[in-house]
Each structure stands twice: as C-alpha cells, then as structure tokens.
Structure 1
Amino acid sequence: MLTSILSSPRIIDVADVFQRNLTLDTAKDCFLVYFFAVRALKLWRHVRARGLSRSIKDLYVFIAQRTLRLVIALPSMRKRIKTEMDAARVEIDQKLIPHGKDVVRHLELPKQGCTLEWILDAMEQMDREGPSHTITGKGNYPVHSSFTDGGDDMERVLVAAFQRYCVSNPLHPDAFPAVRKMEAEVVAMCLRMYNNPAGAGATTSGGTESILMSVKTHRDWARAVKGISEPEMVVPASAHAAFDKAAAYFNIKLHSIPVHPETRQVDLKRVRRAINSKTIMVVGSAINFPDGCQDDIVGLGKLAKRYNIGLHVDCCLGGFIMPFLERAGFSSEPFDFRVEGVTAISCDTHKYGFAPKGSSVIMYRSADLRQYQYYVNPEWAGGVYASPGLAGSRSGALIAGTWAAMHYMGEGGYISSCRDIVGAAKTIEELYILGKPQASVVAFGSRAPDLNILEVGDKMSKKGWHLNALQNPPGLHIACTRLTVSMVDNFVQDLKDAVWDAKGSPAGKGTMVSLYGLGNSSAIGPQMVGAIVSAFLDALYQA
C-alpha cells in the first residue's frame, strides 16, 4: 500500500516540482552570495588602498556632486552658470585668438599655390598678431618653465635633419632604411644611458604616449601571464597625469597614493596596502613634474619584485639630466634598470635631450615584455598590419632630428648641460621649496598665512616668467633650462618682488588664483574647472 501511494504520479510530480524549486532557490542564493562577496571584496580593496578617511571623503564627494547636480539643474542656477561660462569663454578667446581689423585669417585653400617668400611673410605676420609674450620660432622670448632650447647651433642641426628626411615615414622601413636605422640607434643609446643595453624599447611622440604604451603593455602582459581581466595600478599622487589618462583610456582602476609632506616621496606602506591580486603595476617618478622630487625607486622595486608586478619609472622630465648627475658632480639616488624590479622607463628626448618636439623613448627590461606593446592584425583586408605604438604613419624627420641632436650633444655635452642647469636649480633652492629636488625642477610654496602663492604666480606672469601652478598643496614650479642659467639672479629678484607685491596689494583675480580657487571652492569645483578647460581646448581649434 505505502509503495503504491509513494509511486503514484501525483506524488512524483509534487516531488519533482519541490526538487526543481529547491535547485532554483539554491542557485539564486549562490548567485546573491557571489554577487555580494565580489562587491564586498572590491570595497575592501578600495578601502585598504585609500584608507578609511579617504574612502569616507570619496563617498562624501560622490554624494555632494550628485546633490549639487540636482541644484544646478534648476532653471535659475542653470541660467546663472551659463552666463558665467559664456564670460569665461569670451575671456579665453580674447587671450588665445587674435582680434582686430589687421588680422589675416586663412580659412580655405588658396586658388593657386603660394611662394616660399609669401609663406614666410604670412608666418611673420601671425607671430606679430599674437600677444606680446608669445614664444615664436625666432627672436627673443621669455623663459618658459616647459621650454627647452638647445641654442642656435642645435637649431641649424635640426633644420638640416628635417630638410633631408621631411617626407620619410617609419611605417615603411624598406623605403626609408636610414630612418629605421636611426630609430633603432636612438633607442639603443637611451638603453645604455639607463644601464640596460640588452633591453628593448621604441620611440614615441612624447612622454604621454610613452606612459600610455607602458601601461598598455603591462595590462596586456598581466592578462596573458596572470589572467587579470580587471586590472588596477598604484600611482603616486605626484605622478604625471598621463597615468590617469591611461587608466581612463584602457579601463584600468587607478589608486592614487599620497606623498610625504616633507620628502614628497610616495608612501611605500600605502603602496603596499594598495597592491592586490588585480594589480598590474606600480609607478615611481625620477623626477616628478610637480616638484622635481624623486620617489624611492629601490623600495618600489622591492614591492614590484615581491608581488610579481611591473614597475614603471617615469624619467620623462629627468630624461637627459638624471643619467648624468653624478658625472656632473651632484648626488644621485638609484633610479634606472640597475634597480631590481624596474620593468619600464620613459625618457623624453625632446626636453633636456634638445631633440625636436614630439619625440620620446619607452624602454623595457626585455624584448619579451615589449611584445605586449605591439598591435598586430594578420587578417585585415588591406594586408597584414602591424605597428609598434599608437601611431601608424609617423614623421621620420622627428627621428632624424632626435638622432642628430644626440650625436651633436654627445656625452660630454649632456654632462656640461646637466652641470649648468642643475647648478641654476640649486641656486633657486635657497628659497622655500617643496621636498628635496634631485635635478632641474624646483617647486616652492608659502608658509605665510597672508601670502597666496598662486597670487605670486600671477605677478610673475606679468614679469614674463611662465611658471606652472601646483595644487595639493598650492605652489609654483620652474623647470630650469639653458635659458635660465644666465637669468637665475634675475629670477630670484623678480620672485622676491612678486612676493612683496602679492603681500602688499593682492588682487585675487589672476588666472592662477581664479582657476585653482574655483577648483577648491566646492565638491562641484573640479567639474567647473573641467568645463573651463574644455572651453580652452575648443578655442585651440577656432580659426
């Protein structure tokens, strides 16, 4: 009887339904547990990397930004913000775009080709149309903190190289074998400068592309070798913005680690806490852009080796200064491929290497690692396509100019240049400086409560000195060049006068004060600055 009851079709159907429901419920529960576990792990990694106080601040900023977005969406606020932004755009246009009845605009192709004489006259006219402090191709110009000049003799060398290879394209090495050879030799010379002659590298269009390529290379390496599909990298707060750009381009989570307020070096303990199973690389600078200080590369190298991750050393700014410091008579901390754990170094040739603008080198410890930089498409309808970096066609003239500049200067020339430039920087270091600058960049701030250092920057701009504004903490920096060497005493005196003027009659309306004051005004401030900067970028393309 019992057997017949249990074996009845109705009982069996009920049991099957119960079993199916139990399986479905179990699957749902497992999915929810997995979902929340993954989220909890990501939250734990975030808090561990950034600290509890920073994470709470991030949450506050997140909530404040969304609240403020609702407020500024109100018609009255939207109208007010539009009025302010329109005024900012007009001011930007007035500063960048020449105005007046004498301005000649070239908005369409001429009906007939123009002569060389006409072209040179038109260029001279455009130089005259710019502001009085414009840096032109010829003539006198003020010292600019990001402008490096190899002198008139170097200019003639570069022009000769450009003229010879102005139509060459490294994308076709069989057609331009000399350019291919020069590019390989530029990379080889840089590798020897950084004590890795058996390594590998490639030329790029500048420091940003070198950094982008390194990040892309480490991402693809970590995906192929370690199976990392959600990459993260750990970067000092003082590192170049190109790392943030790379994170945005390549969908990589970036942990920004604070630097020590005195040494300006990244906090190694915080770096170690930020490293996890998703980390593909850490970053150090030698030297960094904001204040010219060097991170502890040896300490970072130990962490990179311990966790089997990459270490990129950004030497873009210090490219042709750092390798020559000791031979020029200055102290130096380890920073190159002799440090265990360093896997990549970026070095700009167009700064203190005096090569033409638009040239840099990215170096790797091995050719095996460089393979992950390449893009190869064997199935394209146009034939097999391969390129070492972001660009396809490139200018062979830039490579030829770089090769020529490095040979014209030679080791002795770069040592002498390093001695002069860093010597000028050491003179400026007598002021209140941030950290302990290693090379050519000096950053200074203000301890006085009644002195806004950004106000000093605006005063210096009126004196013809183009200094870079810093934030977190606020400051100014100058990248000393050959032009600075003979004018260092004038700089120090002008800076003292600017400090006095800023204390005595602060206007509070200069470019630096206005822009960076807005950025720190509220949680929405950075977005407002972003909108203004976007307007600036728009103005660059307004003819």
Structure 2
Amino acid sequence: MMDALWDFVSHMERDFERIFSSYEKWQVIGGTVIVTLLALFLKDLFYNLNDVWEDLKSWVFRMARKIPPIRNYISDQLDASRKEIEKGMFEDAADDDVPYLKVLPSEGWSKEEVIRVASNVLGGGKYDWKEGKISGGAFAGSDESYSALLVDMFGRYSLANPLHADIFPGARKMEAEIVRMTISLFKGGPEHCGCLTLGGSESLLMACKAMREWGREKGVRTPEIIICYTAHSAFDKAASILGMKIRKVRADPRTFKADLQAMERAITKNTVMLVGSAPQFPHGIIDDIEAIGQLGLKYGIPVHVDCCMGGYLLPFMEAAGYSIAPFDFRVPGVTSISADTHKYGNAPKGSSVIMYSRPEYRHLQYFVTPDWPGGIYATPTIPGSRPGGLVAVCWAALLSHGFSGYTEAARNIVRTARTIKSLISDIPELQLMGDPQAGIVAFTSDKVNILKVGDLMNQRGWHLTYVQYPPGLHICLTSLQATHDFAKNLANDLKKTLAELQQTSDLAVSGIGKVYGTAATIPDKSLIGEAAKIFLTCYYDTGFKEETSSKDI
C-alpha cells in the first residue's frame, strides 16, 4: 500500500517538473500565489453568496432611485405616507383641552396642575388595555394593590442611582439579588453570573458585545452571529452598533423552528455566537435549544438563548404541570441567556437580566476607561447612571409574586393559550403557525386574507399583532387575558369576522394591515425602512397647531 502511494507521489512530482520546467521560478511562485488567492476568494464568495446577492440588489435599487422620475415618484409617495401617519397619529392624540407643549412654562406649575394635565392625557388611547383585548401590550395592571406597591417602591428609590453603590447600597443589593434569583430559575450555579439591564434589547446587545470580544481574543476580526430569521430584531440592532455581521438562516416551514442544518452550514471561522429563541416572538415557537447547544460544542462556539419573551414564564411551566424541553443552563453548550423581568415577571418597563455560564464572559461585556481625567470610568452595561426606582420595583415584583405566584400565573396563561390553540384548530379558515408551547399563539389562513381579518378584529376592539413572511396574526397572552372566557370570546369574534369577510369579499385592507400588505409587495426593503423612519420621526412631532404656550393649558 505504502509502495503504491509512494509511486503515485513520485509520478505526480515528475509530471509537475515536466509541466513547469519551461517557467522561471518567480513565475511558478507568482502563479501559485495567484491561484491560492483566487481559491480563497471563491471559497469566501461561496460562503457569502446570499450577502453578494443582497448587496447586488441593494446596488440596483440604489442606482434606480437616482433616476429623476423614479426619485421624484418615491419622494412623493414617502411624503404622502408621512402626511397619512401624522394625520392618524395626531388624530389619536387630539384633545382641545390638552394641546401640545412646545415651550417651558414661564412659571413652574403647581402639583395639582401637573396631576390634572397628566390625568387628562393618561387615557388618550383608543384601546382599553385593561380589557385584555391587546396582544402583549401590558403584562400586569389589574391588581390595584400590586400597582400601589410598585408606586410606593418607586417613590422610595426614585432618586437612587446604582452607579454610586457606596451612596445607595440598598439599590446595589437589590440589583444583585434580582440577578441571583433569576440565575437560580435558569438552573445556574454559583459560577453563573449576570447583570441587570434596562430591557431585552440591551441584554442581547451585552451578550453580542461579550462574544465579539471573545472572538477578538481568538483573532476574529469580522465576528459573525448566526440566527434564524425569526429571532428578535434586537440582534440586528446589536450587530449594527457593534460592527458585527448577522447570518440569518431559514426556519422549518412547518414547525417554524430554526433549521439546524442551515445553521451548521452557515458556520465559518468568524462565527462567535449561535442563537436560539425560547420562544421567538413572531410565532411563539421554542427552537431546539439542545440541538443548537450540541452545535456549539461541536464547533467550539458560544450559544446564546434569547429567553427575553419567556423569561418569567418558561421556568415555571413544569411546576405548573406542563412539560417543556430543556432551554436553560442544564443544556450543554449554552453560555448565555437573556430573560426579561418586565414581561412575565410583571415588573414595570424596563428591566431585564443577562446571564453567563462563566464570569469570563461577563468580564468581556464591561466598559472600562482607565485613563479618563475624571477618574477610572467603569460600567457593567451601557448606561452610566441608572434609575434606582426601576431596580426597586423589579425587586418588589419578584418578591411579591414568589415562586408560587409565578407558577399560578404560568398555569393560567398556558392553559388559556392551549385553549386558544384548540379553538383555532377547529376554525376551517385558519391554520396555526407551528405548535407554540408557551404564551404566544400565531395563526394564518390559506382561504382568506389574514390582513383583512386583523383589520376587522381591530374594529371589534382587538389589537392583535401582525406578523409577516408569511403573513399572519398572533396573540401574546398575559395575566390580563388568563381568564376563563377570554379564549372563547376571541374565537367567537374570529368566527364573526370570517363570516363578515365572506359577505364583503371586496373589503379593502386598511390601517396597519395595509402597511404590512404593501410592505410584502415592495422588493426594495430600504423603502420600507424609510417609511418606518418617517413614523419614528412623527413620534416626536408636536402636531400642526400653532405654537402653544404652556399658560394656555
């Protein structure tokens, strides 16, 4: 065997010598370098075909938008969108008794005046969120004594700043206890650690920052994060801020779970993080965290579990009587987990916890400036000064519920969600999107325009969440909806809406449904981005009214 191999190598050597004998040595070396670089380029191109295609499409659309007639048409359409958004936004907020304030009052208001105006604008929305017909907009608020507790706690710590732990030791202690209690829920041990953040987006950004630094220590200069396209958009935000690259893989079209084979194919030498959702927001589906953890172990890549949505729901499901696949630190390969306390934890916005399997990872998320003239500047997360009041109310929320309180809430929420799943499955025109196990139920239709269903449900007082790619609707259940008749009422209104659609098949899509329907037909997604930025700009406008003096209120 070895003799045959040696003969083959010797034969190949003689062939190479014969082929290249007519070339100078520098030509052979130069040619080898060129071929090697070309091979590396083609390999990189192969792994980035999707990125190349997206870049090409963006370039084509960008060039087309420079053509004067097209540019003018787009400008006119965006301006019309701005006016429509402003009209709807200011009509919703219109109140002749409470005009917009545009300058500071010349004299400070009295306490009674501040409270009067604040009370007038408090109920300005067109949805009564306490009725529970909104999808995930509020997670608590029906218990007046609980609300009073939070108000009292915030008042006691409203001026506290955890940045100055020596001045406000109570806030620091509460913060450390929130993190440790959350780690225990996710089956972490003494070596596990974490930080309190101001929300899920910051928690995800911190995890991405830590893994970016982890990659840099290993020589990775263009760090990449692999996520399913159903993962939260906060990963896109984090990557944009941190200069990282997102690789999005498809979801299984039947289960809506992250496609593990696609995820493995997307792994490169630059990959610094694999992401699984528990659950993801659009469809409420929990990815196969155990399998993603195994991928992380196989390739030596950290795995993050985004449990922001399920943070204070999933850990209580087993105790509530519902089986669930492992999603926490029991899963080998999981290095970080994010969990929002301001969702199912029923704490006021905004608070969240980012957790790590080892202190070394948390160490990488810190921000430190050792040579600033103002002193050594160090913060665990993005903000410097932080509101101690939010720490206090989060701490109070956790302690007032306790394990039994959250378990009972989980039992009611999941029971309601599964009742809705069953009732929707019995409606011929609707189909569930996957098999959600927690508090979100998504559905679509291959028989009717689901966007029209959403519009008509809005007219019935419902505020369901629109999802896209493919289009659908979802309901995010909270304690406000965990009542015995909620699922039945939702199903009955869906049936009435579908019957109405059959009688008025020519009904045009309007409102938010029109926005999503239009977005799906526009190939240049940058235009959708421009329209979204117009909405954000209108958010800070103060209307078309003449300048209003504070004394006129």
Q: Under a length normalisation based on structure 2, what TM-score does the superposition of the two structures give?
A: 0.87
Structure 1 pair 252/263, CA: closer, same or farther in 2 (3 Å)? same
Q: Give the alignment partner of residue 140 of structure 2, picking from 141, 149, 159.
A: 149
**Separation (CA, whole Å) in 1 of partners of 2:100 and 2:271:** 51
Superposition pairs of residues 428-447 of structure 1, within 5 angstroms: 428-430=420-422, 431=424, 432-447=431-446
**Separation (CA, whole Å) in 1 of partners of 2:343 and 2:153:** 18
**Separation (CA, whole Å) in 1 of partners of 2:26 and 2:234:** 48
Deviations 1:464-492 (A, max 9, x none): 22111111111111111111123222111
1:204 matches 2:206: no
Matched residue SS, 1:276: coil
1:480 matches 2:482: no
Q: Which residue is equivalent to 1:507?
A: 507
Q: Which residue is equivalent to 1:50?
A: none
Structure 1 pair 310/64, CA: closer, same or farther in 2 (3 Å)? closer
Matched residue SS, 2:348: coil
Q: Give the alignment partner of residue 122 of structure 2, picking from 119, 122, 127.
A: 127
**Separation (CA, whole Å) in 2 of partners of 1:112 and 1:529:** 44
Structure 1 pair 493/46, CA: closer, same or farther in 2 (3 Å)? same
Matched residue SS, 1:147: coil
Query: Is the contact between residue 200 and residue 364 of structure 1 (CA under 8 Å) also seen in structure 2?
Result: yes
1:101 to partner: Cα distance: 4.6
Matched residue SS, 1:255: strand
**Separation (CA, whole Å) in 2 of partners of 1:539 and 1:23:** 67
Q: Give the alignment partner of residue 368 of structure 2, picking from 368, 376, 384.
A: 376
1:407 to partner: Cα distance: 0.3
1:74 to partner: Cα distance: 2.9
**Separation (CA, whole Å) in 2 of partners of 1:277 and 1:323:** 34
Query: Is the contact between residue 182 and residue 399 of structure 1 (CA under 8 Å) also seen in structure 2?
Result: yes
Deviations 1:308-354 (A, max 9, x none): 11100011000111001111011211100000000000000000100
Worse overlay, 160-169 or 243-252: 243-252
**Separation (CA, whole Å) in 2 of partners of 1:463 and 1:504:** 17
- % identity of equivalent residues: 39
Query: Is the contact between residue 133 and residue 481 of structure 2 (CA under 8 Å) also seen in structure 1?
Result: no
1:233 matches 2:228: no
Q: Give the alignment partner of residue 87 of structure 1, picking from 63, 80, 84.
A: 80
**Separation (CA, whole Å) in 2 of partners of 1:435 and 1:379:** 53
Question: How many aligned positions are there?
Answer: 505
Structure 1 pair 348/102, CA: closer, same or farther in 2 (3 Å)? same
Q: Which residue is equivalent to 1:532?
A: 531
Q: Which residue is equivalent to 1:542?
A: 541
Q: Which residue is equivalent to 2:212?
A: 219
Structure 1 pair 157/23, CA: closer, same or farther in 2 (3 Å)? farther
- What are the ranges of 5 or more consecutive residues in structure 2 without an aligned counterpart? 1-23, 425-430, 543-553
Query: Is the contact between residue 440 and residue 474 of structure 2 (CA under 8 Å) also seen in structure 1?
Result: yes
**Separation (CA, whole Å) in 1 of partners of 2:540 and 2:27:** 59
Query: Is the contact between residue 135 and residue 465 of structure 2 (CA under 8 Å) also seen in structure 1?
Result: no
Superposition pairs of residues 28-177 of structure 1, within 5 angstroms: 36-47=38-49, 55=50, 62-97=55-90, 98-99=93-94, 101-127=96-122, 130-133=124-127, 142-150=133-141, 151-177=143-169
**Separation (CA, whole Å) in 1 of partners of 2:29 and 2:113:** 77
1:207 to partner: Cα distance: 0.6
2:44 aligned partner, one-letter code: K
1:36 to partner: Cα distance: 3.7
Superposition pairs of residues 333-482 of structure 1, within 5 angstroms: 333-430=325-422, 431=424, 432-448=431-447, 451-482=448-479
Matched residue SS, 1:168: coil
Deviations 1:23-66 (A, max 9, x none): 9989987875565444323212224xxxxxxx3xx655544443
1:535 aligned partner, one-letter code: I
Deviations 1:167-207 (A, max 9, x none): 11111100000000000000000000000032000000101
Query: Is the contact between residue 64 and residue 523 of structure 1 (CA under 8 Å) also seen in structure 2?
Result: no
- What are the ranges of 5 or more consecutive residues in structure 1 without an aligned counterpart? 1-21, 48-54
**Separation (CA, whole Å) in 1 of partners of 2:125 and 2:187:** 45
Query: Is the contact between residue 131 and residue 480 of structure 2 (CA under 8 Å) also seen in structure 1?
Result: no
Superposition pairs of residues 297-312 of structure 1, within 5 angstroms: 297-312=289-304
